[in-house]
C-alpha cells in the first residue's frame, strides 16, 4: 500500500478521463471498467469536472463514477477530483484559477459525487491570470471548512509545489504531473515531492509504451482510432479476449517480434536477398523485451518501473475496458529485479 496524506492507497490508481471524453465507451462498459478496478484492488480513482466531451455536460465523469461506486456501498475508494479547467465542447481546454470559481466548482463536484466532503480536491492547472497563491489559498479555505479532506495540485513546477506546501501549511497531499518513459520533464517535481512527503501521481504514465487519450497522430483523437473496434490503443486488449500478457497483436506474434507502425521490423530479420537486416531499436524497446521475458504486458512493466521510483509514486493509467485496468492493477504485484531496473535505467530524468 501507498499513502496520500494519511490515507492508504493501492499502488496503482485509475485515471477515469477516457471514460468521458472523445471516443468514450458506452456507459455499460465504462461502469464495468470502474467495477473491475475496484474488484482488482484499485482504491484511487482520478477525475475532474472538466472530463467530458460535449458542451453543457460538465461533471460527466464525476457523475459516472458516483453511479458506478453506488453499487459498492461503503467501498474504500478515494475519489480525487479537480477544478480550475473547462471544456467548451469544441475540443479545447480553458483554465480558471479564480478562488470564487474554484469554490463554486468544488461545491458542484460535491453535489455530483454525492458526498459531504471530497476525499482529494486538486487545482487542475495554474492560471497565469491569477496569482498561484490565491488559487491554492482557495483550497486551503475549503480544507479549513471541511468541504475537502485533502488538497492537491496538478500540472505544476517544483517551485509551485514548494509554494503550495507553504500556503497550505504543510497540508499538501499530492502533486499530479505528466510523467512517463517518454515524458520526463517533471523529474524534478518527483524529487521535490519525495522531500516534502507529498504523493506524486503521474498522469499519462504509459507514454512511449501506449498512446494516451490526449495524443494524436494527425489531429484525430486516439481514443477513436488504433484498433478495429475503435478502442483506444492504450487498452491493449486483444479482440478475442486473450490475456495481454501473452498476445497484443492481431496475428498472435509476441511483442518482442512485432513490427512498428511504419513497417520497420523490431528485431534483426532477413531481407529478401538474404542479407541480415540492420534495424534500429525502437524507443523503450527494453520495456517490451522484459515484458516478453516475464510473460506480461509492456504496460505492466512500465507501471512497475514507476512504482520502483519511490514509495510516494502512484501512477494513474487510463482505461476503457475491464481487462485493461485489471492488467494495470497487477503491476502492484510485479517487482522488477535490480538487473531489470538497470536495463530500464531507473533515473527519472534519463
Cβ atoms of 299 and 211 within 8 Å: the answer is no
Cα–chain center distance at 150: 19
d(CA 208, CA 217): 14
d(CA 122, CA 81): 6
C-alpha cell at 181: 518513459
d(CA 65, CA 40): 16
C-alpha cell at 213: 487519450
Told to judge if 72 belongs to the known catalytic residues of this protein, a careful annotator would answer no
Instruction: Please tell me the number of Cα atoms within 13 Å of 314 on its side-chain side.
Output: 31
Cβ atoms of 313 and 303 within 8 Å: the answer is no
Active-site pick, 47, 51, 178, 190: 51
**Radius of gyration (Cα) for the chain, nearest Å?**
20
**How far separated are the first and last CA of the chain, in Å rounded?**
27
User: Which residues are known catalytic residues?
Assistant: 51
Amino acid at each position: 500500500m501507498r499513502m496520500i496524506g494519511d490515507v492508504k492507497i493501492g499502488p496503482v490508481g485509475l485515471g477515469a478521463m477516457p471514460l468521458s471524453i472523445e471516443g468514450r465507451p458506452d456507459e455499460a462498459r465504462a461502469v464495468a471498467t470502474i467495477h473491475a478496478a475496484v474488484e482488482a484492488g484499485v482504491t484511487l480513482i482520478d477525475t475532474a469536472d472538466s472530463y467530458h466531451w460535449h458542451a453543457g455536460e460538465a461533471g460527466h465523469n464525476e457523475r459516472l463514477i458516483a453511479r458506478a461506486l453506488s453499487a459498492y456501498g461503503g467501498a474504500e475508494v478515494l475519489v480525487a477530483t479537480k477544478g480550475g479547467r473547462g471544456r467548451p465542447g469544441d475540443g479545447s481546454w480553458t483554465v480558471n484559477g479564480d478562488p470564487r470559481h474554484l469554490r463554486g466548482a468544488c461545491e458542484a463536484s460535491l453535489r455530483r459525487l454525492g458526498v459531504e466532503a471530497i476525499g482529494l480536491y486538486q487545482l487542475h492547472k495554474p492560471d497565469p491570470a491569477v496569482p498561484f497563491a490565491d488559487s491554492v489559498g482557495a483550497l486551503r479555505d475549503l480544507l479549513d471548512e471541511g468541504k475537502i479532506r485533502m488538497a492537491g495540485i496538478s500540472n505544476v513546477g517544483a517551485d509551485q509545489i514548494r509554494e503550495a506546501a507553504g500556503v497550505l501549511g504543510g497540508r499538501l497531499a499530492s502533486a499530479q504531473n505528466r510523467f512517463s518513459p517518454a515524458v520526463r520533464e517533471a523529474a524534478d517535481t518527483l524529487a521535490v515531492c519525495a522531500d516534502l512527503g507529498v504523493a506524486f501521481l503521474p498522469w499519462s504514465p504509459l507514454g512511449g509504451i501506449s498512446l494516451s487519450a490526449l495524443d494524436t497522430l494527425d489531429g484525430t483523437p486516439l481514443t477513436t482510432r488504433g484498433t478495429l473496434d475503435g478502442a483506444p490503443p492504450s487498452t491493449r486488449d486483444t479482440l478475442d479476449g486473450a490475456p495481454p500478457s501473452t498476445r497484443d497483436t492481431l496475428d498472435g506474434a509476441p511483442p518482442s517480434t512485432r513490427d512498428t507502425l511504419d513497417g520497420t521490423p523490431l528485431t534483426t530479420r532477413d531481407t529478401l536477398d538474404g542479407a541480415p537486416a540492420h534495424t534500429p531499436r525502437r524507443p523503450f524497446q527494453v520495456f517490451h523485451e522484459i515484458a516478453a521475458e516475464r510473460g506480461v504486458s509492456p504496460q505492466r512493466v512500465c507501471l512497475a518501473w514507476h512504482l520502483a521510483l519511490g514509495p510516494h509514486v502512484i501512477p494513474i493509467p487510463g482505461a476503457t475496458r475491464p481487462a485493461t485496468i485489471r492488467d494495470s492493477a497487477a503491476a502492484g504485484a510485479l517487482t522488477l529485479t535490480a538487473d531489470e531496473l538497470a536495463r530500464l535505467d531507473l533515473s527519472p530524468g534519463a
